[in-house]
Homo-oligomer: A and B are copies of this chain.
Amino acid sequence: MLSPVTPEFLAPLQASLPEAVFRAEPTGYLTEPRGRYQGQGTVLTPGSTDEVAQIVRACAQARVGIVPYGGGTGLVGGQIMADGPAPIILSLERMRAIRAVYPSENVLVAEAGVILADVQAAAEAEGRLFPLSLASEGSARIGGLLATNAGGVNVLRYGNARAQCLGLEVVTAEGAVWHGLNRLRKDNTGYDLRDLMIGSEGTLGIITAASLRLMPQPAQHGTAMFSVASPVAALELLALTQAQLGEAVSAFELIHRQGFDFLAEVGPEITPPFATPPEWTVLIDLGLSQGVDPVEALSTLFEAAMEAELTDDGVIAQSSAQRTALWAIRENIPEANRRIGSVSSHDISVPLSEIPAFIEQGAKAIAALGELRINCFGHLGDGNLHYNVFPVQGKSRADHEDIRGKVKETVHDLVHSFGGSVSAEHGIGRLKVNDMTRYGDPTKLVMMRAIKTALDPLGILNPGAILDPL
C-alpha cells in the first residue's frame, strides 16, 4: 500500500534540493485537456537527472507514488491520479536543455522537458527535420511524447515517437540511472529496454533525456485535397499514391463531410476548398526530393485517380499559403469537435483493408443507439481513425449521459471484432485500463504484470496507469 506525501516526507528533500524544485503550485497540474479528471498531489520540478533520481529514491523509501508529468496534453488521464494516497507529481518542465546536436549524424539529444516545437526548431536550424508533428506540439514535451509513444500526422512516412528515438536516459523505480543515450543506428547488445520504456507511460521508469533521430528535410512539399467516392476509393487512392510516389507520401488523412459541416456550424472559420463538401475527402501531403515538382506529381496523381474513377474533384496547393489553408481544415476539425462536444470519442485503428467495412458497420451500430452524428476522420494511411460520436443539432453531450458508456462499448467491441486497437495513439492512461483488460490478450496482460512487478516492485511509478495499482 502506498503512503501519501506528507510534510515529514518532504522535509529532507527540502533540505537537500534547490528551492526551484518546490516552487510550483499544483494548480494547472491537476486537470487535463478534456476536464474529466481532478488530480491531487505535490508538484516537484527537478532540474537535473540526479535530482530526479534523488526524489525517486526518497519515494521508494517511503513508498510514495510518483506521477511523471510532461506537457499535460495527454488525453487518457495518464498524467492525473485522482484517487489513492496523494502522490508526487514529478514535472520535467525545468529539464529543457537540448544537450547536443550532431548534424552529420542526424542526431539530437534532448532532455525530457523540451517542448516538441523547440526540438523541431533546433533540427530546422541545422537544416534537418524532426518529423514528429501533432496538434499539441507547442506544449507537449519530449519525455511525455516518448512515454506515450505519440503519433500524429507524419507516422505514415516516419513512424511514431518510438521510431524517432535512438536512446534514452531513464531513472528507474529504485532511483538508479540507466545511461542509454546512445547515438547508434544499430546496437544489438541485450534486451530492447528503450522500446519497453517508450509507451510505458511512466510506469516502468522516468525518461529524463533522449537521443533522437533527425531526417533530411524534403527539398519540396506538395499538398492536395481530393474528393473520394467512398472509403474503398480512399484506400485505392492511397495505394495508387504510394505506388507513384513511394515514401514521399508524408500524410494521407481522411475527412468526412461531417467535419466540414461542424466547421461551418461552430467554426473555427475556414475557407472550404470545395463549393459543396464531398462526403469523403482525403488530404495528401508529400515531401519530395530534389528535381521532382510537387504540383506536377500531384497533377499526374489526380489524372490517374480520375481515370480510375476514384475522385472527381481536387485542389492542389500552388503555394505555401495554400498548403497551410488546406492543412488548416484538417487541424481545426478537433477544435470544432470540442465546440460541438462529443458523446464519446475513440482513438482506434483497424487493419487497413477492414476500414470500409468498419465504417459501414459502425454507422449502423451507432444509428441503432439513437439519433447521433459521427465524425470519422484521421490518419487513414496508418489505419488510425478518430471515430467520434456527437449529438444532433439542438442536443448536447449532457443529453446523452445515459448512452455514453454504451456508445463507447459498441465502437470498441466492433473495433476489437475487426482485430483493431482501442487505443491507436493516445495510450491507456487511466481512462482505458478497463478496455485493455477487456480486449487485451490474456497472456500479454500476464507478461505486462510480471514486467511491472519486476521493474517497479513497490508500485510507485504512475500508480494505476496502464495497470491497476499493485
Contacts and interface: CB of A to CB of B under 8 A. Distances in A.
A290 B427 CA distance: 38
B185 A383 contact: yes
Using C-beta atoms within 8 Å of the partner chain, give the interface range for chain A. Answer: 35 or more
Nearest to A245: B289
Given A162-B192, A183-B352, 19 more contacts: A176-B443, A179-B441, A179-B443, A182-B421, A185-B382, A186-B379, A186-B384, A188-B199, A188-B423, A189-B422, A190-B428, A190-B436, A190-B444, A190-B466, A192-B199, A195-B195, A216-B242, A216-B243, A246-B289
A164 B330 CA distance: 30
How many identical chains are in the complex? 2
A189 B162 CA distance: 14
Interface string A428-441: 10001001100111
Contacts of A192: 149, 162, 195-196, 198-200
Given A102-B351, A179-B443, A196 B186 contact: no
A179 to B, nearest CB: 5
Interface in A342-357: 349-353
Contacts of A247: 216, 247, 289
A139 to B, nearest CB: 20
B239 A190 contact: no
A64 B244 CA distance: 54
B443 A289 contact: no
Interface of A: 102, 104-107, 148-149, 151, 155-156, 159-160, 162-163, 172, 176-180, 182-193, 195-196, 198-200, 204, 216, 218-219, 235, 239, 242-248, 287, 289-292, 297, 349-353, 379, 381-384, 419-428, 432, 435-436, 439-441, 443-448, 450-451, 453-455, 466
Contacts of A151: 186, 188
Contacts of A292: 289, 291-292
Contacts of A289: 244-248, 292
A424 B189 CA distance: 7
B349 A184 contact: yes
A453 B451 contact: no
A426 B188 CA distance: 7
A25 to B, nearest CB: 31
Nearest to A467: B190
Contact of A191 (B172, B190, B196, B291): B196
A188 B419 contact: no
B186 A447 contact: no
Contacts of A454: 450-451, 453-454
